[in-house]
Structure 1
Amino acid sequence: MKENNSAKELSEKLFYSKKSVYQRKDAAAIDAAYDYAKGYAAYLDAAKTEREAVRESIRLAVSRGFIPYTLGDKVVPGGKYYYNNRGKSLYLFTVGTESLENGIRISAAHIDSPRLDLKQCPLYEEDGMSFFKTHYYGGIRKYQWVATPLALHGVIVKKDGSTVEVSVGEQESDPVFYINDLLPHLGAESSKKPLGEAIPGEKLNILIGSRPFEGSGDKDSIKLNTLFLLHEKYGITEDDFLSAELTVVPALKARDVGFDRSLIGAYGHDDRVCAYPALSAILECAASTHTLMCVLADKEETGSDGNTGMKSDLFLDLINELSVSLGADPAVVRANSKCLSADVSAAFDPNFADVFEKRNTPLLSAGVVLTKFTGSRGKSGTNDASAEYIGWLRRVMEDAGVVWQAGELGKVDCGGGGTVAKFLAEHNIETVDLGVPVISMHAPCEVISKVDLFEAYRAFCAFCLA
């Protein structure tokens, strides 16, 4: 008996094991996690696109005393600032009391999600129906987007320079939109196709109407009626689509999942489930002695390119401008900075266990996930964080009582994925991925655990203050 007890004590001391947050935290901590999730759900509903996420994030930041920043502005210790990059990405930063050359604590998430974008000449009529043509954005499984209610969001810039905001399909009184699917009675040949080929990208056409314009004759009468309604509501003509950014997203509100309400099902967890806690942390920890920065980037799902993606020189420009204002060497600032690349990971799913390596896959409700490397095949396209930096972050999280786990994305050679981590690390900044495990990533409705969300928030706070 004594030997058995000794073995048990020794195994508890020496073995690494993942345990549920519910096993590690008391009822008060769980209640706090569920309360925090309410604010996150509201953020999700208000931020279906990157433009809406920027707008909502600025609203929250302004309510906590943040003010707009323009390149070249002087900054002062204790100041709280935000830089709105073209309405599609956002940089928030607080200036600490210690020297900027001690480095910046950076949390970098992305606020774009997989979706369907309207083409520049989208509207057409065919066989009694009017449609919008789309081009999918990011890595979607196309079959998941058919036969489900959809909403239209975005902006139209008219020839005179005026801007029209569009959001249709989110209110109970709104119409929704739809992509037609084939009935099973006639689907014998379609069902023989590989899953990825059954719904070609060019068939992701949005059904938007079927009523002809009265007295217009047969040719394009439904298209004319659709344009008439759009002109009546928004004052646009067909050529205004040429200077529009219109996006189709699921017409779905964030909802609790499960009898115990422990999960949240919603569109856009990737990556707003990391963006929101990173944002929350800089709002809560603005009094840190460190200079803090929260990046909410665009275009991650398509490679982080463009002037709103993480590859943009704007990130370096901001560090350079802060350095000039505070009398610091930007190279020294970058070398001493630390970054959390805030992005999701795939939670182990027993229904698809064959693509996961369970020992190294994050579990749902077992805390925030630290991912040393991403990429594909032989770690292609990865940052691969240093052991020293991971060791430092372990101490920070464990000292703060954060429940965390290590994990990577699936089995070797089963696929892979990337984050913004490598783009930040290329600037000589210590960087590692930290985020929330997700079920059904990139689906129109993804699922996360409320307790994992809260542990992510606690991890970002600990990072800001350490």
Structure 2
Amino acid sequence: MSAPPRFDRGHTDDLMSFLAASPSPYHAVANAAERLDKAGFRQVAETDAWDATSGGKYVLRGGAIVAWYVPEGAEASTPFRIVGGHTDSPHLHVKPLPDMGAEGWRQIAVEIYGGTLLNTWLDRDLGIAGRLTLRDGSYRLVNIDRALLRVPQLAVHLDRSVNEGLKLDKQRHMQPIWGLGDVHEGDLIRFLEDEEGLAEGEIAGWDLMAHSIDRPAYLGRDRELVAGPRMDNLISVHAGVASLAAVSAADGHLPYIPVLAAFDHEENGSQSDTGADGPLLGNVLERSVFARGGSYDDRARAFAGTICLSSDTGHAVHPNYSERHDPTHHPRANGGPILKVNVNMRYATDGSGQAVFAAACEKAGVPWQVFVSNNSMPCGTTIGPITSARHGIQTVDIGVAILSMHSARELCGADDPYLLANAMTAFLEG
């Protein structure tokens, strides 16, 4: 008989539903907004004047969302407590001229987005999802969540050395097939217009990407693991939404203004109007201060007391490649969230930030671990250093330890998302 799970898996069950329903950053922020709406938040437009009312509000821009909760009696100089993450994941992105083919096969032209593990997209059933821009300037989300595309691998009979080292050319080997016959310009877009019940020519622009249609699933004898797509970094986005909603429901005269900032484009450098290196977060925080009658001095005081948890996935120790990890720092699945440290500021954590995170975990009764890269291996980075440098805000890098990062399907401990959300809630409560 299987051992019972350590925790109620309600949070992880909900995460799996969130992953499946969020095949693109645009879907992720729409689902986050829907959950915040149910928690009493309301959307505000960046083009409108903002008022000083208390309560929960959020801004949507493309694949990014910034949400915040103003407690009753908050002053203009009240600091913020921010949970940050990103909505994008490495994927195959549909090109502006998508219709192509060769040797009687119809294909879709794709561009590689982010640091994708290319081989994980081979021989996998793929759908298409993203955002359509219509001729009237409005947007529509689209999700063809069935087997539509496939990137076929070359048979072993035609590459006898494949198991000695697979080398994929991003341009020649990664274009998926989706049918047979002659290629006609506009085929994919006309197909999407038919699927969405739109008139021919109504789609004027598109931001589309392939996604694996495999559903998230518990894995292992005791179901103590979870496999699924886009865990990097929708685990953090989902936990941030849950923790912000929980804190706003409790309120209790919060000493800080809790904030969720989920950005797009982290996987390719964050330099966009919806990325962490853009002005979105700073604009929202400043406008919140000024809407409450604050001055520039109040803004400076609020920012000086603000702390951000930059939450992203990190590397659990891989049992088949343990030599690639630091010999004294071994994060493990279901060991609790990780504190990410790099002295060269690829992560923004310092000793002061470590103390903040440790206090939040202690308050929540959550175990935590430390991740440091092997000195011989290049270290990745996050939105943490960008947020810290751009806004002058103390930032701490944390996350959940996973395997197969940047794969089409990643793996984590089934308890860790729940533990992360509890640590975030304690942090936002102050």
TM-score, normalised with respect to structure 2 = 0.90
Structure 1: runs of 5+ lacking an equivalent:
1-25, 213-219, 374-378
Once residues 213 and 187 of structure 2 are traced to their aligned partners in structure 1, the CA distance between those partners, rounded to angstroms, is: 24
Aligned residues: 416
Q: Secondary structure at the match of 2:223?
A: coil
Deviation at 1:414, TM superposition (A): 1.3
Once residues 424 and 128 of structure 2 are traced to their aligned partners in structure 1, the CA distance between those partners, rounded to angstroms, is: 33
What per-residue deviation string (whole Å, max 9, x for no partner) do you get for residues 251-274 of structure 1? Answer: 111111112111110000000111
Deviation at 1:185, TM superposition (A): 0.5
| Match in the other structure for 1:179 | 151
Distance 1:117 1:319, change over 3 A: same
Q: Secondary structure at the match of 2:273?
A: coil
Q: Does 1:83 align with 2:59?
A: yes
| Match in the other structure for 1:16 | none
Q: Does 1:345 align with 2:331?
A: no
Once residues 221 and 141 of structure 1 are traced to their aligned partners in structure 2, the CA distance between those partners, rounded to angstroms, is: 29
| Match in the other structure for 1:31 | 7
The worse-fitting range, judged by mean Cα deviation, of 414-423 and 154-163 is 154-163
Once residues 192 and 246 of structure 2 are traced to their aligned partners in structure 1, the CA distance between those partners, rounded to angstroms, is: 43
Q: Which of 208, 216, 221 does residue 178 from structure 2 map onto?
A: 208
| Match in the other structure for 2:363 | 399
Once residues 247 and 221 of structure 1 are traced to their aligned partners in structure 2, the CA distance between those partners, rounded to angstroms, is: 20
Once residues 187 and 66 of structure 2 are traced to their aligned partners in structure 1, the CA distance between those partners, rounded to angstroms, is: 43
Is the Cα–Cα contact under 8 Å of residues 116 and 247 in structure 1 kept in the other structure? yes
Distance 1:123 1:463, change over 3 A: same
Once residues 388 and 76 of structure 2 are traced to their aligned partners in structure 1, the CA distance between those partners, rounded to angstroms, is: 19
Deviation at 1:98, TM superposition (A): 4.0
Structure 2: runs of 5+ lacking an equivalent:
none
In terms of fraction of residues, the more helix-rich structure is 1
Once residues 421 and 70 of structure 2 are traced to their aligned partners in structure 1, the CA distance between those partners, rounded to angstroms, is: 21
The worse-fitting range, judged by mean Cα deviation, of 151-160 and 342-351 is 151-160
Q: Does 1:411 align with 2:374?
A: yes
Once residues 168 and 67 of structure 2 are traced to their aligned partners in structure 1, the CA distance between those partners, rounded to angstroms, is: 43
Deviation at 1:198, TM superposition (A): 3.0
What per-residue deviation string (whole Å, max 9, x for no partner) do you get for residues 39-81 of structure 1? Answer: 111111111211000110111000110011234311323x111
Once residues 163 and 389 of structure 1 are traced to their aligned partners in structure 2, the CA distance between those partners, rounded to angstroms, is: 40
| Match in the other structure for 1:74 | 51
Within 5 Å, which residues of 2 pair with 1:280-319? 280-286=242-248, 287-288=251-252, 289=254, 290-319=256-285
Deviation at 1:231, TM superposition (A): 5.3
Within 5 Å, which residues of 2 pair with 1:421-460? 421-426=384-389, 427-460=391-424
Counterpart amino acid of residue 268 in structure 2: T
Distance 1:253 1:100, change over 3 A: farther
Is the Cα–Cα contact under 8 Å of residues 91 and 211 in structure 2 kept in the other structure? yes
| Match in the other structure for 2:168 | 198
Q: Does 1:389 align with 2:353?
A: yes
Within 5 Å, which residues of 2 pair with 1:297-376? 297-328=263-294, 329-373=298-342
Within 5 Å, which residues of 2 pair with 1:52-67? 52-67=27-42
Distance 1:69 1:163, change over 3 A: closer
Once residues 166 and 227 of structure 1 are traced to their aligned partners in structure 2, the CA distance between those partners, rounded to angstroms, is: 12
Counterpart amino acid of residue 74 in structure 1: D
Q: Which of 17, 31, 47 does residue 22 from structure 2 map onto?
A: 47
Counterpart amino acid of residue 339 in structure 1: C
Q: Which of 92, 100, 108 does residue 124 from structure 1 map onto?
A: 100
Counterpart amino acid of residue 175 in structure 1: A
Once residues 189 and 259 of structure 1 are traced to their aligned partners in structure 2, the CA distance between those partners, rounded to angstroms, is: 35
| Match in the other structure for 1:152 | 128
Q: Secondary structure at the match of 1:180?
A: coil
Q: Secondary structure at the match of 1:307?
A: coil
Counterpart amino acid of residue 73 in structure 1: W
| Match in the other structure for 1:266 | 228
Once residues 227 and 94 of structure 1 are traced to their aligned partners in structure 2, the CA distance between those partners, rounded to angstroms, is: 40
Is the Cα–Cα contact under 8 Å of residues 99 and 184 in structure 2 kept in the other structure? no
Distance 1:100 1:403, change over 3 A: farther
Larger Rg: 1
Deviation at 1:403, TM superposition (A): 1.1
TM-score, normalised with respect to structure 1 = 0.83
The worse-fitting range, judged by mean Cα deviation, of 395-404 and 179-188 is 395-404
Counterpart amino acid of residue 390 in structure 1: Q
Is the Cα–Cα contact under 8 Å of residues 143 and 199 in structure 1 kept in the other structure? no
Counterpart amino acid of residue 149 in structure 1: D
CA RMSD of aligned residues (A): 2.4
| Match in the other structure for 1:10 | none
Counterpart amino acid of residue 70 in structure 1: A
Distance 1:162 1:337, change over 3 A: closer
